[in-house]
Structure formats: structure tokens, C-alpha cells
Structure 1
């Protein structure tokens, strides 16, 4: 399999992940996330695979929209990285949420298991320029 083939198979895995997040498809998420995976959330907290699955199982996180603006993919035979830029809408903890986000996901691949996320980082994006004020609250 060429690197181009690995890139396309990883792109497909990333899009399956997006669909699984939107549907809260815990079975698909279980398949796509490595048991040892850790995520850095936009709040800076570290979350395990079980934390992510639980958020979907309990309805703590429900997405109604995942709209990809850009997807960059880098893949070799066993390691890949995806950079997702897009808009997510839904509810977290029962509170409405709409955000433009960037996700960086590191994937591992084996012939037996396919692509699985091993690490990820998410951040909120704003269209506002960075503030240069001396506000002590950081706003």
C-alpha cells in the first residue's frame, strides 16, 4: 500500500469518526479510538477513551452538526495525523454549544485493527484578533 493509499484510508477513517460523533455511535467510536488514547480538551483537561464514550452514552454531549471546512491528512504505513477545521453545534451538559474548532488527531494503524486514534487535541477558534490589552483577567 502506498503512502497515498494510507492517506486516503486515514481520510476515510477521520470522516467515519466525524459521522460517529454526530450520531453518538458508541460502537463506531469504540472501533476508531484506541483503548490507551488520551484527549486534550479545549478546557486543557485530559480525557480518556472511556470519558469520551461516556459523554456520548449518557447524552452529556450531543452533536447536531459537524461541518468540515478543511481536513489535512499526513499518513505513513503505521502512523498518521489529521488536522480538522470546522464548526460543531449541539449541546454539552444540556447547554447549547456552537463553535468553530480545530482538532489535531494522531492515529496508529495495524493491518489487523486499521486506523485508531491514540491522541487528540481540540481547541476553540474565534474570528476576533488577539487582544493586546493589559486586562488582568486575560480578556
Structure 2
């Protein structure tokens, strides 16, 4: 199970990096609960919107200190990401601690909740 989650984490990071909305749409639950680095509650549609519009572009995402905890059919992944990209044509660079909650459904694993916290 852990190796499957590691692969899904690689898939979601690659999809974020290349704004692959089809992959993201398949991995994120319809009722996703995401609290972003600004403390704003974001829906799945809100999370996908800047990828669709091209407003958000990533140049690099490096991961470190990935921790995975299994709770039956639910898995919690916590990881640092060093991110370089641009939003609305403004370059940014940040270190963020992401926590994602994966749950196993009949159609496969889906992210049901996530948080991101800026880390200095």
C-alpha cells in the first residue's frame, strides 16, 4: 500500500508541475477540502482553475522529508516541497509543508483533504 501511495504522490507532483488537469481531476475527490498556504478554504474546482487558465506555472518542485502514515483505508502524507514558479506572471519561490489525506474508494485512491503551510 505504501509503495502505491508513493507512486500516487509522484503522479500528483508531476501533474501539478505540468498543470495536467486530467490527472489532477482523477486524483482529487469531488468534495476535496483544501486549506492553502494563505489559510483559504479551496474547492477542487478552485484548485484546478489556475492550472486551466495558465495563471499558475511551476518550474520546479523538490520534495523532502516525506512521511506516510496508514490508517486502514486512509493514508496521511506529509512532505516538504521547495517550489519555484510564477503566479499571474510574478515569480515566486517557497518552501511549503503539504499534508494530503488519501482515502481508498471503489474507483481507487483519491485525495479527500490537504493543507499547505509556508515554511521559512
TM-score range, shorter chain: over 0.9
Q: Does 1:107 align with 2:107?
A: no
Q: What is residue 75 of structure 1 aligned with on the other side?
A: 70
Listed as ranges, the gaps of 5+ residues in structure 2 are: none
Distance 2:33 2:55 in 1: 19
**Residue 10 of structure 1 aligns to a residue in which SS?**
helix
Bigger strand fraction? 2
CA distance in 1 between counterparts of 2:82 and 2:96 reads 6
Which residue of 7, 21, 32 maps to 1:12? 7
Residue 118 of structure 1, aligned match among 91, 104, 112:
112
Ranges in structure 1 where 5+ consecutive residues have no aligned partner: 1-5, 127-139
Shift of 1:74: 1.5
CA RMSD, aligned part only? 1.1
Count how many residue pairs are aligned between Structure 1 and Structure 2.
Answer: 120
Q: 8 Å contact 1:39–1:47 — kept in the other structure?
A: yes
TM-score normalised to structure 2 length: 0.95
Conserved in 2, the CA contact under 8 Å of 1:65 and 1:89?
yes
Q: Which has the larger radius of gyration?
A: 1
| TM-score (ref. length: structure 1) | 0.82
